[in-house]
Structure 1
Amino acid sequence: MARVVNLKNSSAAREARGREDLVEVAVELFARNGFAGTSIRDIADAVGRSVSNVYHYFENKEALWLAILERSVKALPGRLRGALEGIAEPRARIAALVREHLDVSEQYRRESRIFFIDEERLSASGNKANKRIQREILSIYVAELEGLRAAGLLADGDTRVTAFNMLGVINWYLRWSKPSAGGAKREQTVDQVLAFILRGATGSER
C-alpha cells in the first residue's frame, strides 16, 4: 500500500512540475512576444515538448494565461488591502497603497506586463476573469480616494477618474521601465512615481 501511495505522490509531483514548467515558459514568451505573438507550438518548442503534451496540461493558450493570472495578479487585491492595515491618515494610506502595488508588480513584472492584453483576444470567460480583478483593484483605489475627499485633501472630486489616472501611471511605468536591480535606485524611482501620483491627487507631494 505504501508503494502505491508513493507512486501516486510521485506522479502528482511530476504533473505539477510539468504544469509549472509550461507556465514559466509561457510567462517569458508572452512578456517578450505578446499574447497574440506567441503560439502553443512556440511554448512547446521552448520547453522541449510536443504540442500534444502542452494540450495535456492546458486546453488552449488562454488557459495558460489564466494560470499565470491565478499565480500572480490574482493575489494583488489582498496584498493591497494588507498594506493598508494599521494606517489611519488618508495620504499615508494612498502612499502605502501605491508602494505595495509597485512592489508586488516588480515581483511579478513579467506577469504584470501580460495582464493588460487586448480584451478582444480573450474568450468571454477569460475576459470576465480579467475584468473582475481589474474592477476589484479599481474599487480599492476609489475607496481610498473617497477617504482623501472626506478629509478635504482630494484635488479633484471625481474619484474614479483620479483612480484611472493613478493606475495609468503605475501600469505605463511597469510596461516601459526596465527591471530594477533594487537598492537606492529602486527606492528613488518609487519615490518619484509616488510623488507624481500624490501631486496629481492632492495638489501636494506631502
Structure 2
Amino acid sequence: MDTQRQTLPTNTDSETAILELARREPELGQAAVSRRLAEQGLRISASGVRYIWQKHDLETAVKRLQALASESADGVAALTRNQRKLLERQSVNARLRRPRGSRGKQDGAALDRSAIIVDAAAELFSSQGYDGTSIRDIAARVGLLPGSIYHHFPSKEEIYVAVHREGFRHVLERIRAASAGITDPWERLRRACEIHVREMVQGSAVDRITGTSLALVGHESVLARVQVFRNDYEQVFRELVNELPLRPGADRSLLRLFLLGGLNWVHLWYRAGKRTPEQIAAAMVDMLRTGVEA
C-alpha cells in the first residue's frame, strides 16, 4: 500500500504527461502508459495512471476516444480508422454487458445493437425533438459511426417508429400482467393508470417518449405509422372503460379520452417527492368514480 501511494502522480508534470498521452494515444492501457512515461524519466505506477484517468473521467478507452472526438469539430470522423473501429467495438460491447434496467428483459439479459440504438434515440428525441435529432447525433451517443446505424435502421423515421413500437409493447405487457386475476373493473383501471403514469415519469426514455411525443412530431407520415401502436394501446383502455359499471347514458368514449388526456399530461407537472404514480392514479380514478362535488 505504501509503495503504491508513493508511485501515485503528485505533480502537475506527471498529470500533464498522462493527459497528453491520453490524447495522443488513447488506445494505450494504464500499464503501457506507465512504461511509456518511465522511458521519459517519469516513475508512475499503472495504478497512478488510472488515478489520473479517473480524476478526469478518462478511465476507459471509450471515454478517452470520445473525449478526443469531442475536441474536434469533425467529431468521431477526426479519429483514425483504427480508433473509430475500437470506439465502436468497445462502446457496443460495454452496452451489451449492461442490464436493460427498468425496461429490461428478465435476468438482466444483454441488449442487442438495435435496442442500444433505440434507447439512445429515445433519449435524444425526448431532449432535442424529432427534427432536432440527426442520425449523426444518435451514432455519437452510442459510440458508433453513422454508417453502422444505417446497417440496423434505414432512416431516422424507422428509428422513431421502432422507439414507439417498443414503448407501447412494453407498457401493454405491464398493464396486462398487473390486471391479470383482478375481478373489480375499477381496480383493473386503477392498475392500468398507475403503470401508465409510472412508466411516463420514472421509466426509460423509450417509455417516457411513448406517452408524450406523439402529437409533437409534426410529420403526418410518421404520425400515421406510430398511431397504429397507439390504437392497440387505447384499445386496452377502451375495454377497461367498457367494463365499468356506469350510470345509463354515460359516454364511455368521452370518459376514456378524458382519462387518457389527463394521464398524458402528468409528465408536464409531475414532481418527484410529491405524489407518487400510485397516488396520482388512485386519485384520478377515484374522481372519475365518485366525483368531486361536496
The equivalent position to 1:139 in structure 2, one of 217, 235, 257, is: 235
CA distance in 2, matches of 1:85, 1:132: 24
Q: Which residue of 1 aligns with 2:252?
A: 159
**Deviation string, structure 1 residues 31-61 (Cα, Å, up to 9, x no partner):** 1111121111222233343322221221011
Q: Which protein has the larger Cα radius of gyration, Structure 1 or Structure 2?
A: 2
TM-score (norm 1): 0.71
Structure 2 residue aligned with 1:191 = 279
**Alignment partner of 1:77 is 2:172:** yes
C-alpha offsets along residues 169-200 of structure 1, whole Å, 9 cap, x if unaligned? 1111124535x47xxx563x531343134313
Count of matched residue positions in the alignment of Structure 1 and Structure 2: 183
Greater mean alpha carbon deviation, residues 169-178 or residues 113-122: 113-122
| Structure-2 separation of matches of 1:63 and 1:30 | 13
Structure 1 runs not aligned, ≥5 long? 1-12
Secondary structure of the structure 1 residue equivalent to 2:182: coil
- Structure 1 CA distance for aligned equivalents of residues 188 and 142 of structure 2: 43
Contact 1:25/1:43 (<8 A) preserved: yes
**Relative to structure 1, is the Cα distance of residues 160 and 202 closer, same or farther in structure 2, using a 3 angstrom cutoff?**
farther
CA offsets 1:66-107 (integer angstroms, 9 cap, x no match): 232333322322322222222222222221221232234345
2:10 aligns to what? none
Q: AA paired with 1:64?
A: I
Aligned partners of 2:143, 2:204: CA distance in 1, in Å?
Answer: 25
| Inter-partner Cα distance in structure 2 for 1:152 and 1:59 | 48
Residue 214 of structure 2: which of 108, 117, 126 is its match? 117
Q: Using the aligned pairs only, state the percent identity.
A: 26
Query: Retained in 2: the 8 A contact 1:105–1:174?
Result: yes
Give the AA of the match of 1:97. A
C-alpha distance 98-20 of structure 1, shift in aligned 2 (>3 A): closer
The match for 2:291 is 203
On the 8 A contact 1:83/1:97 being kept in 2, the answer is: yes
Contact preservation (8 Å) 1:36, 1:121: no
2:226 to 130, 144, 161: 130
8 Å Cα contact 2:197/2:281 also seen in 1: no
Matched-pair contact (CA < 8 Å) for 2:194–2:280: no
TM-score, normalised by the number of residues in structure 2: 0.53
Distance verdict in 2 for CA 1:175–1:113, change over 3 Å: farther
Distance in 1 separating the partners of 2:175 and 2:133: 31
Q: Aligned with 2:282: secondary structure? A: helix
In the alignment, the residues of structure 1 paired with residue 292 and residue 183 of structure 2 have an alpha-carbon distance, to the nearest angstrom, of 19
- Superposed CA RMSD in Å reads 3.1
Report the secondary structure of 1:35's partner residue: coil
Deviations 1:134-160 (A, max 9, x none): 222222222222222xx3468x71111
**1:1-206 pair list within 5 angstroms:** 17-106=112-201, 108-115=203-210, 116-118=213-215, 120-121=218-219, 123=221, 126-148=222-244, 151-152=245-246, 157-178=250-271, 180=272, 185=274, 187=276, 189-203=277-291
